[in-house]
Copies of this chain bind each other. A is one copy, B any other.
Amino acid sequence: MAEQHTKSERLRQHLVDVIDQGLEPHSKLPTERDLASEFDVSRLTVRRALDRLEHEGLVYRVQGAGTFVAAPRITKSVELTSFSEDMRARGLVPGSSVLVTETISAGARLGAKLRVSPSDDVFHIRRARTADGEPMALEDTYLNPRLFPGLIDNIGSESLYQILETEYGMKIEWAEQSIHASVLEPEEAQLLSAPPFSPAFYVTRTSFDAQDRPVEYAESTYRGDRYHYELQIHRTR
């Protein structure tokens, strides 16, 4: 676990542990004032920890009554995760096999996505992604070589995002994702061990760092019979 360096984050983590270790839904948590004195912090610090837990859906608050453990909900709202995290969240073991690694000329489309000149080089990685050993998706990832020198020689089965973060200090902050309905072309179907022309998701994603620079552009085709989206959506207030 990463070190928690703020008091409110340490308190939040403590409360997560307490909740996970067997508190029933709708159990009442200690009052904000009690938590403040017990952990020797101000009430505002307690409220910051609870704000985050409420936002994450682990607790709910009722004015005048207290703070309570939320009923676990099956679906979560959409979050930015890697394929590996996504699969683990679904209770599946993620895997990956690299089909292609190459350096190609960006061209107009990829150049625009990654904000490089069309004549510049980009890395291209094609991988088959698996869940519990079964083919789940084909993924073509494109990266700017200037940001990740030498990367293409170090691709293994580890998480690409992990490598970007640990080796290059690159943290992806947000992404634009587009989801289309599609069917598997025969070639894709064969690579995914699925019937040709069966339903599929075609997903494109451009990922950005904290300075809003495009870091990665990826096109993925997911088997529609094995993958779907579950989301919880709220009225914005």
Whether A175 contacts B232 by the Cβ 8 Å rule is yes
Given the complex, which residues of B lie within 8 Å of A148, measured CB to CB?
A: none
**A158 interface contact, C-beta 8 A:** no
Whether B199 contacts A235 by the Cβ 8 Å rule is no
Q: Is the interface of A mostly helix, strand, loop or mixed?
A: strand
* CA of A17 to CA of B234, assembled, Å: 24
Number of interface residues of A (CB under 8 A): 40
**Nearest CB on B from A63, distance (A):** 11
- Known A-B contacts: A175-B233, A181-B181. Give 4 more (CB < 8 A): A78-B233, A174-B234, A176-B231, A199-B199
A-B contact list, 14 entries, CB within 8 Å: A71-B212, A74-B176, A78-B78, A79-B233, A171-B235, A177-B229, A177-B231, A179-B229, A179-B231, A180-B224, A180-B228, A181-B182, A183-B197, A199-B200
